[in-house]
Amino acid sequence: MGQSFFFSQRPQVRRFLLIQLVGALFWLSGVLLDMSASAALLPAILWSVTASLRWQAGRWWLVIHALFAPLVFFASQLDLAPGWYLLAFGISWLVFGHVASSGVPLYLSNRQALTWLSEQLPHGASFMDVGAGTGTVLAWLARTRPDLSLSGIEHAWLPWLIGKLRLSASVDWQRGDYRRVSFAGVDVLYAFLSPVPMLELWQKARQEMRAGSWFISNTFEVPGEEPDEIIELNDWKHGRLLLWRM
């Protein structure tokens, strides 16, 4: 299952590269038509954003396309030593590693979501956070709900390392792919991922979680599956928790 999902995401990377290549041709055409190099960025950006809306899955690709060409252009004007580019790439990989293959960028749960979880989770429940980022949810619950059995998994190296440093030894903190972890003993599964993996995650949860357990998604729906409960977080981004009882 994990391998098939990986290969299903590879076209997204190829589409990104193809869209940016065509965008570079737009920029070059503008320069050849006597536009300034910075002004020629506009048609390239417009093309990239429009193509992203049509051919890329996930709004975060839109942001990447909108920023990629301007950042490359302005970085080229700074005359930086090559080592700085290598450092920037390394940091980006540590923070956002696995995004291209998983379709899951880094999202952090806000205070409203944390408060609801600490108040509503069943007493003594086994709670797992998949794609757990820097361990924010687990750190909060470790302080406010010591009765819970807490675990989490994160794939990107730098967020995982931050979580490793901040979380107590009582939290089972793992680095890796949640598709390789069993949900069989989990009472509450929590995810703040992206639209891309939700159907696959739901199918895995349905197969492995026991009757009466909870699956909670922050913000993102499962295609074709109505949640049993929707909790409005009343925050600036109109966030909500979607809860399914297995």
Say if 106 falls within a structural domain.
no
| CATH code of the domain in which 166 resides | 3.40.50.150
Residue 11, φ and ψ in degrees, nearest 5: -60, -30
User: In angstroms, what CA-CA distances link 95 with 51, 88, 184, 220?
Assistant: 26, 11, 29, 21
Say if 93 falls within a structural domain.
no
Say if 98 falls within a structural domain.
no
- The number of domains in the chain is 2
Same-domain status, 131 and 23:
no
Neighbours of 11 (CB within 10 A): 13
Domain final position from 60, 79, 98 = 79
Same-domain status, 159 and 43:
no
- Between 69 and 105, the more confident residue is 69
pTM metric for this prediction: 0.65
Same-domain status, 179 and 238:
yes
Same-domain status, 132 and 230:
yes
Domain final position from 57, 79, 101 = 79
Pairing between β-strand 172-175 and β-strand 149-154 as defined by DSSP bridges: parallel
Domain that holds residue 205: 111-245
Domain final position from 33, 59, 79 = 79
Average confidence (pLDDT) over 13-17: 74
Position 148 scores a pLDDT of 98
Q: How far apart are CA 56 and CA 6, in angstroms?
A: 16
Position 3 scores a pLDDT of 43
pLDDT digits (tens, 9 = 90+) for 202-245: 999 999 999 999 999 999 999 999 999 999 998 777 789 999 99
Same-domain status, 198 and 119:
yes
Listed in sequence order, the residues at least 6 apart from 31 whose beta carbon sits closer than 8 Å to its beta carbon are 37, 40
Say if 99 falls within a structural domain.
no
Say if 85 falls within a structural domain.
no
Same-domain status, 233 and 121:
yes
Same-domain status, 35 and 135:
no
Same-domain status, 139 and 209:
yes
Looking at the predicted structure, is the pLDDT value of residue 107 above 80?
Answer: no
Say if 157 falls within a structural domain.
yes
Looking at the predicted structure, is the pLDDT value of residue 139 above 80?
Answer: yes
Same-domain status, 67 and 152:
no
Say if 159 falls within a structural domain.
yes
Residue 242, φ and ψ in degrees, nearest 5: -110, 125
